[in-house]
C-alpha cells in the first residue's frame, strides 16, 4: 500500500507537470506501471480523450523502465479531458485534463486531401507537395543524420520518404527495432531507443515543416526478414509504431516501397495492413503504397492518394494526367528515376531531365518527387542523406517559389485531350509549360476548360515568361484582353503575340488582372 501511495504521488506530479500543448501538437501522459513479465504484450493501455461530444480513443505504449505513455494530438483548441483504461490497476482509471492552445505560427496541422487532386493543411493553408526520398537517413551515423537535417533546412522539400526499418548491415546500426536477431526478430520486445530516435528525427522534420512519409515495409535486404514477418509480428510492429507516432502531425504512412517486389505477400495482405493502419490511426493521416512495376489499386478506399513509381509517365503531361482520371485522388509520382550518374537506368537523369519531369507533373495537376543517386563519396542522398550535389535542387527551389503563387486550391489541366501544356484555374490563372520545345514566339491564347468555363471576352491578363532552368521571371509589358477566337479559345483583342527566347524549359504564368471587366 505504501508503494502504491508513492506511485500515486508520482503520477499526480506527472499530471500536474503536463506542459502547454498547442492544437495539432502532442499531449503526452507518462504513467508509472509494472515492469515485470512482458509489459509490451501483457499490459493493455488506452485512453479516452473527450471534449464536449468529441471522443477519441487512443492507444498507449510501453516505453521501457516501468514507464507507459499515452500520446494525443488535439485537433481543436480548448480543454480536453482523458481517462485511462488498462488491465493493470496502476494504469487504469487515471484521469487528467489539459488545454490545447492555438497553434504557433508554422503549425498548420496535418496534411489532408483537398479539392480531389490536391492537398491542404488541416487549417486550410495549401500544401504544395514537393518531396524527396532518402530511404535510410535515420539509420546512419549521428553526424551524417545531423548533416541531412542541415541540408533539409535549406532545401525546398516539404516531404521526405524514409524507411522505418533498417536496410544496411546490422553492425552498422546504432539502433535496432526489436530484440532478437536477424530474421528472428522478437517483435514482442520492441526496443524503445530505436523508436525514440525515430521520433526525434520525425519531430525535427516537423520543426522544418517537412512531412515524414514513413515507409513501413520494404522488400530489400531479405536477410533482415522484414519482408517475411509472420502476420502477428507485422501487426504488433504496426500497432506499436502507430501508438508512438500517430500523434506527430507530420507523419504519412506508406505501407511499402515497391510492394510488388515482395514475393511473400499477396495484394490481400497489403489490403489487410492498410486497413489495420487506417483503424489504428485516430487522426487519419495520409496513407499510400509505392509500386515497383505493378500498381496497387489506389481506387480502394483506404488509399488516400496514389504514390506512383513510373519512369516515363512525367515525360509528358498528357501521360501524367491519365492517372488522375482513373484514381480521382491526388497523384504523387514519388519515383520518376533519379538525378545521378550510376550505371542503373533509374539513376542517371541529368538535372534538366529531372526538372522537366517536375514541371510536366505540375501542368498535369499532379506532384513529382526528387531523388539523387550520384556515385560516392559522399554517399548518395537517395540512400543515406547527407548532402545534395545535383543541378536540379536550385531549380526545384525556384519551382517552389512559382508553386507558392498558384491558386490556393491547386492547378488542374485546362482543356484536357487538346491543350496538353496548360494547367490552371479557368478564367483566373494559367501555367503553360513548353518542355523541350524552344518557341521563339507565343500568340496569346486562353483555352476554355469545357462547357462550365465562364471565361468571356474582355478579361485582362498579365503574362510573365519563366525560364525554369535559368530561374528567371520576366514580366511581359502591358496586358492582354480576351476576345473569342472559336468555341474553345480566346485570343488577344489586338492579336498580340509574345516574343520568347527560343530556349527549352520555358513556361508562362498568366494571371487575370484583378477586377478586369469587359470594356
> Which window, 28-36, 152-160, 313-321, 355-363, contacts its own copies (CB under 8 A)?
313-321
Nearer to its own copies by Cβ, of 53 and 325: the residue is 325
Q: Of 247 and 255, which has the nearer Cβ to its own copies? A: 255
The residue (of 304 and 310) whose beta carbon lies closer to its own copies is 310
Residue 85: CB atoms within 10 Å: 15
Residue 34 binds to its own copies (criterion: CB under 8 A): no
Q: Which of 371, 368, 370, 349 is nearest to 360 (CA)?
A: 368
Residue from 93, 170, 450, 478 touching its own copies (CB under 8 A): that is 450
Biggest alpha carbon–alpha carbon distance for the chain: 92
Q: Which of 32, 322, 394, 473 binds its own copies (CB under 8 A)?
A: 322
Residue 59, C-beta contacts closer than 8 angstroms, at least 6 positions apart: 45, 46, 70, 239, 242, 243, 280
* Three cell numbers written together for 223: 536477410
Residue 55 CA to residue 100 CA, distance in Å, equals 15
Check residue 115 for interaction with its own copies (CB under 8 A): no
Q: Give the residue with the Cβ less far from its own copies, 104 or 299.
A: 299
Q: Which is nearer to its own copies, 251 or 364 (CB)?
A: 364
Q: How far is CA 457 from CA 431, 483, 494, in A?
A: 20, 5, 12
Piece of 86-94, 189-197, 216-224, 415-423 that binds its own copies (CB under 8 A): 415-423
Q: Name the CA radius of gyration of the chain, rounded.
A: 26
Nearer of residues 120 and 298 to its own copies, judged by Cβ: 298
Out of 51, 310, 373, 422, name the contact with its own copies by CB under 8 A: 310
> Nearest distance from residue 286's CB to its own copies, in Å?
20
Q: Kindly state the cell numbers that stand for 234.
A: 507485422
Q: Residue 254 forms beta bridges with which residues?
A: 215, 288
- 240 to 299, contacts with its own copies by CB under 8 A? 293-295, 297-299
All three cell numbers of 112, joined, read 489532408
Shortest spacing between CB 324 and its own copies, in angstroms:
10
Shortest Cβ distance from residue 312 to its own copies (Å)? 4
Nearer residue to its own copies within complex by CB, 108 or 357: 357
Whether the upstream peptide bond of residue 388 has omega within 30° of 0, thus cis, is: no
Length of the chain: 519
Contact between residue 361 and residue 322 where contact means Cβ atoms under 8 Å apart = no
Query: Under the criterion CB under 8 A, does residue 436 sit at the interface with its own copies?
Result: no
484 binds its own copies (CB under 8 A): no
In eight-state DSSP terms, residue 290 is B
Cβ neighbours of residue 514 closer than 8 Å, sequence gap 6 or more: none
Residues 6+ apart with CB under 8 A from 450: 415
According to CB under 8 A, which residues from 146 to 185 bind its own copies?
none
Name beta bridge partners: 114.
Answer: 118
Nearest Cα residue to 277 out of 260, 253, 309: 253
Among 178, 195, 259, 323, binds its own copies (CB under 8 A): 323
Taking the complex as a whole, the smallest distance from the CB of residue 359 to its own copies amounts, in Å, to: 18
| H-helix segments, 43-161 | 142-154
Peptide bond into 377 cis (omega under 30): yes
CA distance 518 to 510: 18
Stretch that binds its own copies, among 48-56, 325-333, 360-368, 403-411 (CB under 8 A): 325-333
Nearer to its own copies, 419 or 491 (CB): 419
Residue 424 CB, nearest approach to its own copies (Å): 17
CB of 421 to its own copies, least distance (A): 12
Q: How far is CA 19 from CA 22, 27, 211, in A?
A: 10, 8, 24
Q: Contact between 222 and its own copies (CB under 8 A)?
A: no
Q: Which is nearer to its own copies, 418 or 474 (CB)?
A: 418
Q: How far is the CB of 281 from its own copies (least distance, A)?
A: 25
Helix (H) or strand (E) holding 487: none
> In this chain, which stretch among 379-387, 411-419, 475-483, 495-503 interacts with its own copies, using CB under 8 A?
411-419
Backbone φ/ψ region at 480: left (φ over 0), alpha (ψ -120 to 50), beta: beta
Task: Report the residue number, 345 or 517, with the smaller CB distance to its own copies.
Answer: 345
Q: Is 366 in the site for its own copies (CB under 8 A)?
A: no
Residue 379 CB, nearest approach to its own copies (Å): 24
Residues that bind its own copies (CB under 8 A): 293-295, 297-299, 310-313, 315-316, 318-319, 322-323, 325-327, 345, 416-418, 420, 450, 488
Amino acid at each position: 500500500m505504501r508503494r502504491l501511495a508513492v506511485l500515486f504521488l508520482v503520477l499526480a506530479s506527472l499530471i500536474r507537470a503536463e506542459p502547454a500543448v498547442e492544437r495539432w501538437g502532442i499531449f503526452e501522459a507518462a504513467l508509472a506501471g509494472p515492469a515485470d513479465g512482458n509489459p509490451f504484450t501483457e499490459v493493455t493501455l488506452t485512453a479516452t480523450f473527450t471534449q464536449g461530444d468529441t471522443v477519441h480513443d487512443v492507444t498507449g505504449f510501453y516505453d521501457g523502465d516501468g514507464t507507459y505513455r499515452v500520446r494525443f494530438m488535439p485537433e481543436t483548441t480548448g480543454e480536453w479531458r482523458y481517462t485511462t483504461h488498462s488491465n493493470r490497476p496502476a494504469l487504469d482509471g487515471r484521469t487528467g485534463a489539459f488545454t490545447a492552445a492555438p497553434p504557433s505560427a508554422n503549425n498548420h496541422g496535418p496534411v489532408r486531401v483537398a479539392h480531389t487532386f490536391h492537398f491542404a493543411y488541416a487549417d486550410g493553408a495549401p500544401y504544395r507537395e514537393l518531396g524527396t526520398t532518402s530511404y535510410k537517413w535515420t539509420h546512419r551515423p549521428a553526424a551524417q543524420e545531423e548533416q541531412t537535417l542541415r541540408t533539409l533546412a535549406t532545401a525546398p522539400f516539404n516531404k521526405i520518404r524514409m524507411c522505418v526499418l533498417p536496410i544496411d548491415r546490422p553492425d552498422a546500426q546504432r539502433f535496432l527495432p526489436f530484440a532478437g536477431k536477424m530474421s528472428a526478430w522478437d517483435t514482442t520486445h520492441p526496443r524503445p531507443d530505436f523508436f525514440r530516435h525515430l521520433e526525434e528525427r520525425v519531430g525535427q522534420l516537423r520543426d522544418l515543416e517537412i512531412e515524414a512519409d514513413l515507409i513501413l515495409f520494404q522488400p530489400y535486404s531479405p536477410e533482415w526478414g522484414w519482408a517475411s514477418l509472420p502476420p502477428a509480428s507485422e501487426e504488433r510492429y504496426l500497432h506499436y509504431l502507430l501508438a508512438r507516432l500517430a500523434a506527430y502531425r507530420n507523419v504519412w504512412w506508406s505501407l511499402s516501397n515497391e510492394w510488388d517486389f515482395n514475393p511473400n505477400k499477396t495484394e490481400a495482405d497489403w489490403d489487410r495492413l492498410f486497413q489495420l493502419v487506417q483503424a489504428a490511426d485516430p487522426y487519419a493521416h495520409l496513407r499510400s503504397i509505392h509500386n515497383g512495376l505493378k500498381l496497387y489499386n489506389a481506387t480502394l478506399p483506404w488509399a488516400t492518394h496514389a504514390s506512383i513509381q513510373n519512369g516515363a509517365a512525367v515525360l509528358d503531361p498528357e501521360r501524367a494526367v491519365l492517372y488522375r482520371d482513373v484514381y480521382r485522388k491526388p497523384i504523387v509520382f514519388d519515383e520518376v528515376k533519379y538525378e545521378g550518374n550510376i550505371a542503373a537506368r533509374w539513376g542517371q537523369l541529368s538535372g534538366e531531365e529531372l526538372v522537366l519531369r517536375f514541371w510536366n507533373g505540375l501542368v498535369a495537376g499532379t506532384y513529382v518527387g526528387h531523388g539523387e543517386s550520384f556515385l560516392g563519396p559522399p554517399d548518395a542522398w537517395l540512400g543515406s542523406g547527407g548532402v545534395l550535389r545535383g543541378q536540379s535542387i536550385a531549380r526545384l527551389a525556384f519551382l517552389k517559389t512559382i508553386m507558392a503563387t498558384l491558386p490556393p486550391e491547386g492547378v488542374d489541366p485546362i482543356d484536357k485531350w487538346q491543350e496538353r501544356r496548360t494547367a490552371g484555374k479557368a478564367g483566373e490563372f494559367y501555367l503553360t509549360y513548353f518542355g523541350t520545345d524552344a518557341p521563339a514566339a507565343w500568340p496569346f491564347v486562353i483555352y476554355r476548360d469545357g462547357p462550365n468555363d465562364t471565361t468571356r471576352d474582355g478579361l485582362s491578363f498579365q503574362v510573365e515568361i519563366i525560364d525554369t532552368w535559368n530561374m528567371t521571371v520576366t514580366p511581359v509589358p502591358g496586358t492582354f484582353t480576351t476576345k473569342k477566337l472559336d468555341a474553345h479559345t480566346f485570343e488577344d483583342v489586338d492579336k498580340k503575340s509574345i516574343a520568347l527566347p527560343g530556349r527549352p524549359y520555358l513556361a508562362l504564368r498568366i494571371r487575370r488582372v484583378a477586377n478586369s471587366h469587359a470594356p
